[in-house]
Amino acid sequence: MRSSIWTCMLMAGSCLAQGDLAALLATQPDLSTLLELVRLVDGLAEKLGSASNITIVAPTNQAFAEVPRDTPEGQAIELRNDTIAIGALLANHVFRGAYPASAVTNVPTFAQTLLDDSYVTAVQPFSNFTGGAYNGLVRNGQDVCVLSGEQTVSTVTQADIKLGDGITIHKIDTALSFGAPLELFLFRAGYLAMSGALDAAKLGFSFGLTGADVQSLNISDFTILVPRDDAFKSIGSVVASADTKTLQEVLRYHIIPNNVIFSPSLSNVTVKSLQGTDLTFTVLPDGSAWVNNAKITFPNNILYNGIAHAIDSVLSPLEGGFDRASLTPSKSASERLAFDGASPVSKLPFSSVSFGGDLMSYTTTPVLLQTMAAVATTPTAAANATASRTPLPIPTAGADIGGLVPCALTAISVAAGIAAFLV
C-alpha cells in the first residue's frame, strides 16, 4: 500500500507548530461542527497545525447539516461513530498546496487533497488516486468555488483565514463530495449508452467497484472520454452490427491509462490510448477542446479514481490516427462521424446498464459546470491559471505511458485504516 498522505505531508511540513488549529476553530461559531469532528481523531488538529503549505476548505455547521444522512460520511457526522469515514471526509477538504483566493481564476485549477487509499470502511473505500484525490478551484464572477465529485459546487463564504505562514482556510457553504465509481457516475449523469456499451463489451475492468463479488481488475489514475447518448445513436447501424471484439477495441480507444488529464492542462498533443492508437487533442483559440474530431462538451468530471470528459462523437481507432489539419469544428456532431457509412437509430441494442436501480441523478447540474472555461484562451489567463499549481504531465507524440496499473486498494481492516490515518 502507498504511504499515508498524512505522513508524507507532515514529513514535508515544519516541525514547529505554526498555530493552534483547534483554538482558531473555536473562535469561529459557524465552524463548531468541524472542530468537533477534528477532535474525534486524536492528534489531528495538532498535526494539521504543524503542517506547512496546505489549504483547508472548511464546511460551515449548516454545510455539515446538509450532508445526506444515507451516506457513510453523513451517518458518521450524525452519530460521531466512524473515525475512518470522518477522517476521509476531512482529508478530502485539505488541499496540498497554498491556494489563496487571489490565485483562483475563471479557468479551474485542479489539485490533490490528503484523501488517499487508506480510508476504507466495511461499507466502502473513499478514493483511489496516486498521491491523493483531486478537487478543483474556480472563480464564478466574484465568488470562489470549489469543485468536487458528484457534480458538487461549493462556494467560499469567507476566504483567506490564515493560521501561521503555511495554512490557508476558506469557509464553504457545501461540504465536498467524494467521486463516484465510473459506472455509477454514468448512470447518474445520464450517459446510459456508454454504460450499456461497457456492460456489453465485458472489458474486465471494475473502474472503482470493490467487494468480494467484484472479480474484474480495478484500475486507477485513468482518463476516460464518454460519448453522449446521441453520439452512439448517430452511429447506431455500426453499433448494432459490431461484434464484442470490435466493441472492446472502440471502448479501449476512449480510455487513457495511468494519466489523469484535466482540460486546463491540454494543448495540441497526442496521447496513446489503452487500445494502443494515438488520440489527438486540439485546443482552439475560442477555448474549445477537441479529441480527434469530437468536441469535449462537459470536461473534468471527478470520479472515484479517474477523470471523465463527455464528448459529442464516438471515436474510432480504425482511422489509424487522426490528422489535426482535418478537424472541422464548424460542422455539427452528426457531420463529424468517425465511422464512414454509419446511419442513426432511435434505439440502441444495449439491453442493460449498471446501477439501473440507483435513485440519484444529476438532474440539476450547476450552471457553472456547464459554462466555465475548459482551457485558458489568452496568455494572461494561462499565466494566472498555472501560477499556483503544478501542471499535470501530458505525453507528447510517441510517448509511452505503458499499460494499466491495478488499483492498490485491498481489503483493509478498520483498525489498519485508523493506524494509517494517524501515522
Question: Which residue in this structure is represented by grid cell 435513485?
Answer: 359
Do the beta carbons of residue 141 and residue 371 sit within 8 Å?
no
Q: What is the pLDDT of residue 330?
A: 95
C-alpha cell at 270: 497526442
d(CA 278, CA 254): 10
Cα 23 to chain center, whole Å? 33
Residues pairing with 308 in the sheet:
224, 301
| pLDDT tens digits along 214-250 | 666 777 899 999 999 999 999 999 999 999 999 999 9
- For 286-312, give the DSSP string: TS-EEETTEEEEEEEEEBSSEEEEEES
C-alpha cell at 384: 494566472
Residue type, 279: L
| pLDDT tens digits along 66-115 | 999 988 899 999 999 899 999 999 999 999 999 999 999 999 999 999 99
- Produce one character per residue of 232-242: b if its CB has 16 or more CB atoms within 10 Å, e if not: bbbbbebbeeb
d(CA 52, CA 168): 10
Strand order in 134-140's β-sheet? 94-96, 54-59, 167-172, 152-163, 143-148, 134-140, 109-112
What is the percent of the chain with per-residue pLDDT over 70, rounded to a whole number? 82
Which domains, and CATH codes, for the chain?
A: 5-179 (2.30.180.10), 182-361 (2.30.180.10)
Do the beta carbons of residue 155 and residue 142 sit within 8 Å?
no
Q: What's the rounded mean pLDDT across residues 117-146?
A: 92
